[in-house]
Structure 1
């Protein structure tokens, strides 16, 4: 009988984790390489699961694709490692006549932008061809947090074979995927794409896996599968462990069967003893053919409170809009900073922007300072958020805090690496890129957390993205902007630009974009300042002419500052005619320089308006 024929009348038991056993044996390198370097060990693990009662075993190929193997320099061994894995599993399964599934693991995690779907498609096609060439009994697609990826993989593989395909998603929260889609809906979509068995694996232990299936209907044309972890993980003496009694896992298997699951295996932390317990507990139990689906009480997601002022991206589409960066201090004497922020606000600018520990140097929290300025001085803030300093937990918590405090303008950036800052040995997190952060913030605007769980209220963030035009090939930078727009960017803020030619180039390269741009202008303060920016700060380049002009005043601080302002005004003359948004970067808390530039912009706009009115009056008459 085939696998699908058996499932018509039986609840089948799959194996447990391979990686968990290898980890317990002290293996700390590429597990898939063992298919050729130590096939006896892999076969031993397969036999242990078969002797424990597994009806189905999976190949040791979870990460045997070109993308993941590239981490070990083995991307050219996809065919070799996958073929060897099927051969090993079939040797182990043959005497006992067990089914062998060729395993293809998910590639993406939270970081979608790092691996395009086209690359995933090519990698999966290559791996599937290798697995299928050795004639397994089916294919297992497991540990897919990103439903888009799994749907693409299924669309690639389904036309390649008539063998059964098992498609399993992974959840951060019971019953919901990370994009907020209910598990039941996700499984229905996979069924419609041709999966023969649909289910879940990894991340959650038995308790939460059962809870998730309580809301899942029995499929019309597929079977349900579940490979829960042994439990939630723990760390003891630096090693990952899963605390779970085998008997508990066996009882959980019975409950999964009661929820209509017909294929039950194990993921992280499970061992042959867990599979043995599940087999014993399910002995003699027929599949469930009808079930009562638990109706989950709908979570009401409240609309976000309307902002008292228009978002910056809407404001800049209509009128001249000026924002000014004023970095918070590196010390705790904030009097001068607050004075400067108030002075800037009094000029009528749209917002004071605050970097997030720029150049990887610790400063007073921009969240704290933004809240203080808002509550006590009515100063509107645009808060920068880097991916460097916070993991996903910290990022979501930070954003929830910003929303709660009424700070809704944010700039999502990757952040300078720690090696350029005060603590070069500090760890950089980078759980996500700026693109994924933009997408996750927009997901929160729909009332959905990073894990897919309802937030009970929508946020209303206006999300800016960074644009560095100081590159040799600007078309590539613009392609990146287009990608950021796809991920949800509302507007862009550029690095400071120091030549008129570059400003015009930026305009010509971006004028087709629907998303507004704030053009960055930064007054230079001295020749040393100019040299430092040009030679040492990533993303900033000055022209030879600018460097020479500042050099002529290297021994006169005041003259140098005036020359820096003169250069900035010349750049503003060009920028103001092409961009509604101007982004002034204040150097060294010298806010009086930014105020002078603000006044200059206002005066030039006034003169232009007067000329325009005069022209209209003349032609009207």
Structure 2
């Protein structure tokens, strides 16, 4: 089919920093279209207009890529919710919707595969065959509908990531391969994260890096090491939450009362748009070529990040103009600023 963009993924990446916007599953759950727990994107079939609208909002905010919402749209996860009979229908529809919206702004379209929960490092041959088949069927449908490249993300195992990359290569698709750094130091199959990325780079990935799990502050040191370790483009898609050295991954964050914050009580840990904008500048200055956001990300984050990188987006027409606020825009009245803080000093 005709591609929305006349430029290939490799050509676009060579132009400069690309902005990726994800977090579809979390955002659609907040909007009432996906069930927390299984996090299967049934919205694709049940409420396609809701997905179409979120794609459009990310596009208007400055995203260079529409990612087909096929995260957790593999056979095992659909079986969990009793919809494995609609696997092909769901996957094809997700790519079609991404293509429709991408065409509105000349964006690229990414197919998407992710951690399957089917891979077992103790039995890599048998479990790997199951994973390979799930990836093959998803990506074969995606290629048929039309994609520019693949994001193979939230990998916990090097073995599973390599299978995903091999399937991409079978189908002649450029691959962005990213690891979720849930554990300190090493993947679930005991590989140092930097070495894991190097293995994927050596195996032919177009881009390697990290997504999900870590917020900007705990992902940044890993990015610095990775940038020095590989000579191909790198990607970073952190979650917009305040992780720290004591709790580097957001899956382990706990509320003030000691309860689990992940996945649906994370609001107290959320970064502002200004903080994500400042991180986007830092990432670009480091040499991260694919700068994005993951679970928890929303269009206002993406717009602020794009503007921090010097872009004016369609959504910039509605960027904040607090000087026009009836209280905050009145210099003589500082009471509101005392409560709200000095917005003029916030990063733009």
The normalised TM-score by structure 1 is 0.43
Cα distance change on mapping 1:219 and 1:58 into 2, 3 Å: farther
Tell me the residue number matched to 2:76. 67
Q: Give 3-state SS (helix, strand or coil) of 1:139's partner.
A: strand
The 1-side partners of 2:131 and 2:206 are apart by 22
Tell me the residue number matched to 2:324. none
Tell me the residue number matched to 1:158. 169
| Contact 2:237-2:292 within 8 A present in 1 as well | yes
| Contact 2:118-2:131 within 8 A present in 1 as well | no
| Contact 2:223-2:236 within 8 A present in 1 as well | no
Cα distance change on mapping 1:38 and 1:27 into 2, 3 Å: closer
Cα distance change on mapping 1:28 and 1:96 into 2, 3 Å: closer
The 2-side partners of 1:57 and 1:240 are apart by 27
Deviations 1:168-195 (A, max 9, x none): 1111256643444333321121112221
The 1-side partners of 2:230 and 2:214 are apart by 26
Cα distance change on mapping 1:220 and 1:207 into 2, 3 Å: closer
Tell me the residue number matched to 1:549. none
Match of 2:265 among 214, 231, 240: 240
Counterparts of 1:87-486 in structure 2, within 5 Å, are 87-108=96-117, 112=121, 116-161=127-172, 163-173=173-183, 176-217=186-227, 222-231=232-241, 232=243, 233=250, 239-242=264-267, 243-283=270-310
Q: Give 3-state SS (helix, strand or coil) of 2:226's partner.
A: coil
Q: Give 3-state SS (helix, strand or coil) of 1:57's partner.
A: strand
Offset of 1:235 from its aligned partner?
Answer: 6.3
| Contact 1:218-1:260 within 8 A present in 2 as well | no
Aligned residues between the structures? 283
The 2-side partners of 1:219 and 1:279 are apart by 27
Offset of 1:121 from its aligned partner?
Answer: 1.1
2:90 is equivalent to residue 85 of structure 1: no
Deviations 1:550-573 (A, max 9, x none): xxxxxxxxxxxxxxxxxxxxxxxx
Deviations 1:118-141 (A, max 9, x none): 111111111111111111111110
RMSD: 2.3
2:51 is equivalent to residue 42 of structure 1: yes
The 2-side partners of 1:129 and 1:121 are apart by 12
The 2-side partners of 1:41 and 1:255 are apart by 33
Cα distance change on mapping 1:245 and 1:109 into 2, 3 Å: farther
| Contact 2:176-2:206 within 8 A present in 1 as well | yes
The 2-side partners of 1:218 and 1:82 are apart by 37
Question: Considering only CA atoms, is the larger Rg found in Structure 1 or Structure 2?
Answer: 1
| Contact 1:166-1:198 within 8 A present in 2 as well | yes
Tell me the residue number matched to 1:9. 15
The normalised TM-score by structure 2 is 0.75
| Contact 2:201-2:208 within 8 A present in 1 as well | yes
Q: Unmatched 5+ residue regions in structure 2? A: 1-6, 244-249, 312-348
Cα distance change on mapping 1:143 and 1:178 into 2, 3 Å: same
Q: Unmatched 5+ residue regions in structure 1? A: 285-621
| Contact 1:139-1:166 within 8 A present in 2 as well | yes
The 2-side partners of 1:39 and 1:218 are apart by 42
The 1-side partners of 2:118 and 2:183 are apart by 15
Q: Which has the higher contact order (CA 8 A, sep 6+)?
A: 2
The 2-side partners of 1:263 and 1:168 are apart by 11
| Contact 2:156-2:180 within 8 A present in 1 as well | yes
Offset of 1:78 from its aligned partner?
Answer: 2.1
Offset of 1:199 from its aligned partner?
Answer: 1.0
Tell me the residue number matched to 2:344. none
